[in-house]
A and B are shown apart, each in its own frame.
Chain A
Amino acid sequence: MVNAATRSSSANNEPVIVLGIESTAHTFAVGIVSSEPPYILADSRRQYVPKEGGILPREVASFFSQVAGEVVREALHQAGISAGDLSAIAVALGPGMGPALRVGATVARALAHYFHKPLVSVNHAVAHVEIARFLTGLLDPVVLYVSGGNTTVLSFRAGRYRVFGETLDISLGNMLDTFARETGLGPPYVVGGEHVIDRCSRGGEFISGFPYVVKGQDVSYSGLLTAALRAYRKGLEPLKNVCYTLREIGFSSVVEVTERCLAHVGKRQVVLTGGVAANDELNRKLEIMAQVHGARFKRIPKKYAGDNGVMIALTGLLSYMSSYNIIEPHRAFIRQRWRVDRVNIPWYPKTLGRSL
């Protein structure tokens, strides 16, 4: 068996090297990670940016198919290896947009089959958690995962990352982007490393009357978005005040549910991950909250906040070394609604380079 052969070579102190493919949303990315320093050997990516409006899955898939080949080649070139040197191929099979996921799955199946490499199935949300644990060194944290598609508070308990709180409707990133789009502030939504809502919030004042919805450990944003858009259309308040209040309520409520989770599970570490983790203001708020509770907070480099191939390769490597979720290429089906709490985490609380 290919699997057995590869893992026995790792016993001979040869590094295990995994190539990971990400294609769940707007980014097609390939990362290559080794079990030995410097760990991250390659990080290649292309992001689909619509000229106007939102993201259409069909157009994303078409873009991905065009760039897939060059992204894989670029990653192998960066790592200075050939496909034959790899120990395994990892791919994010979900959750995400079907047409986009199919491109990554097809590339992964083809590589695994052609080069006779084991294929490792990776959950995209688990990968966001793993990259944050690996890069911050906070190994047993409460995790706030915020992106264009997700707003979730997670923590490890009884073998898996459990959902302690989440949005009841739209995600935080979606709310910010939608407001920007409806008010003509975007797209693009991120300019010079800063979200257009942050730029717009500068010098803004808090205005009352917007709903702040925290129900138990969950948040809800659709009412807030509607109220902000209504205030903008009435035109009685300067836009900067509307932006500031929208952001203040959006961020504060998600930090508050993270705080509740921290008090409930009694852990001492907090990390932030996902596309919105690049946001300075959200990092600042979480850091203050962690301080109040005597917990440690470390931010992850902006580069690895959003979707990337390195996190898929890293998680694939951890999974592969735990002999978990290694699948036959013909069984590599995409899973659009693959919930994070359906995945076992047998390597926890280890990570790469720390007692693995």
Chain B
Amino acid sequence: MVSEDPWKKLVDGMIDSVVKLPLIARGAESELHLGAYGGIKAVFKYRRPKPYMDPRLDAMLRRSRTVKEAKVLLHAFSEGVSVPRLLAVYPTLYLLVMEYVEGPRMKEVLEGHVDTSKACSLAKSAAAILAKLHLIGIAHGDPTTSNFIVSPRGLVLIDFGLAEYTSDIEDYAVDIHLFRRASLSTHAAISGILTDCFTRGYREQMGNEADPILRRAEEIELRGRYVEERRTVWGAGR
């Protein structure tokens, strides 16, 4: 009988204790709990079941996303990209354990009183991290200012739930576009500085290979839907 399966009992016990840890964030597809792992302050990222899906589809998706996020984190970290250190992954539990990165989100820092040179250096660091990630063949998929932590050891990129291994410059360009769009919608007053410094930082890190990617990002902005979204911001003040 399944109920007597000692492995299942162990697994259920583990998830039970994880979800009892303090919740620090809840997104559409996962929740983050704060705890400790091997003496290190750690974040437990747990993908809850989605009760509206067929259980087989749900399990398949949660498992593949957990595994992919772990692979990307491990790979990026080993290549020197500034991402949280992966401590453990339990694909069958849909659970990742990462080192806790201390500090406010870049979004919060930019929303506070921040001078232009600080804003510029943050944007440049963000661009450098993304460029490094792209150079090893990974697109992040959601690089908004909420997903960069301003930590004592510098800027750290988090949340690789939508990351992809890819060699298509379209995917890299989408990352750049998403960062720019987030700058426009969330930090309209300093968006010019942010996007300029971001572009400079990206080019400095990547070199000549940056040009076709930056050009593609411009193209993406001109595609209907995104132009409309940009108007969201400009229209807001009228």
Contact = CB atoms under 8 A, between A and B. Distances in A.
Interface stretch (B33-41, B47-55, B110-118, B202-210): B47-55
Contacts of B141: 215-216
Contacts of A130: none
B235 A163 contact: no
Given A216-B141, A216-B162, A263-B27, A339 B224 contact: yes
A263 B30 CA distance: 11
B196 interface: no
What range describes how many residues of B lie at the interface?
A: 20 to 34
Interface in A220-273: 248-249, 252, 255-256, 259-260, 262-264
A157 interface: yes
Interface in B151-202: 162, 178
A158 B224 contact: no
B108 interface: no
A189 interface: no
A342 B50 CA distance: 34
Interface residues of A, number: 31
B19 to A, nearest CB: 14
Given A208-B56, A208-B60, A157 B232 contact: yes
A284 B53 CA distance: 11
A71 B231 CA distance: 39
Contacts of A333: none
A287 to B, nearest CB: 8
Contacts of B229: 162-163, 341
Nearest to B144: A264
Nearest to B238: A159
A206 B56 contact: yes
Contacts of A208: 56, 60
B233 to A, nearest CB: 8
Nearest to A205: B56
Nearest to A164: B229
Interface in B134-158: 141-142
Given A160-B235, A163-B225, A262 B52 contact: no
A252 B28 contact: no
Interface string A270-308: 000000000000001110110010000000000000000
Contacts of A264: 28
Contacts of A216: 141-142, 162, 178
Contacts of B56: 206, 208
Contacts of B142: 216
Interface in A148-182: 157-160, 162-163, 166
Contact of A248 (B27, B54, B162, B233): B54
A252 B57 contact: yes
A212 interface: yes
Contacts of A284: 52
B11 interface: no
A172 to B, nearest CB: 15
A288 B51 contact: yes
Contacts of A157: 232
B235 A159 contact: yes
B52 A289 contact: yes
A215 B170 CA distance: 13
B232 A158 contact: yes
Contacts of B224: 339
Given A260-B28, A342-B228, A252 B235 contact: no
A3 B171 CA distance: 51
B50 A256 contact: yes
Contact of A252 (B52, B162, B231): B52
A339 B236 CA distance: 18
Contacts of B51: 288, 292
Interface in B205-223: none
Contacts of B21: none
Nearest to B60: A208
B61 interface: yes
B52 A255 contact: yes
Contacts of A342: 228
A248 B56 CA distance: 11
Interface of A: 157-160, 162-163, 166, 206, 208, 212, 215-216, 248-249, 252, 255-256, 259-260, 262-264, 284-286, 288-289, 292, 339, 341-342
20 contacts: A158-B233, A158-B235, A159-B235, A163-B225, A163-B229, A166-B225, A206-B56, A206-B57, A212-B61, A216-B142, A248-B57, A252-B52, A252-B53, A252-B57, A256-B29, A260-B29, A263-B26, A284-B52, A289-B52, A341-B229
In the A-B complex, list the 8 residue pairs whose CB atoms are closest, starting with the nearest: A263-B28, A285-B52, A288-B52, A158-B236, A260-B28, A206-B56, A341-B228, A252-B53
Given A215-B141, A263-B27, A341-B232, 14 more contacts: A158-B235, A159-B235, A162-B229, A248-B54, A248-B57, A252-B52, A252-B53, A256-B50, A263-B26, A285-B53, A288-B51, A339-B224, A339-B225, A341-B231
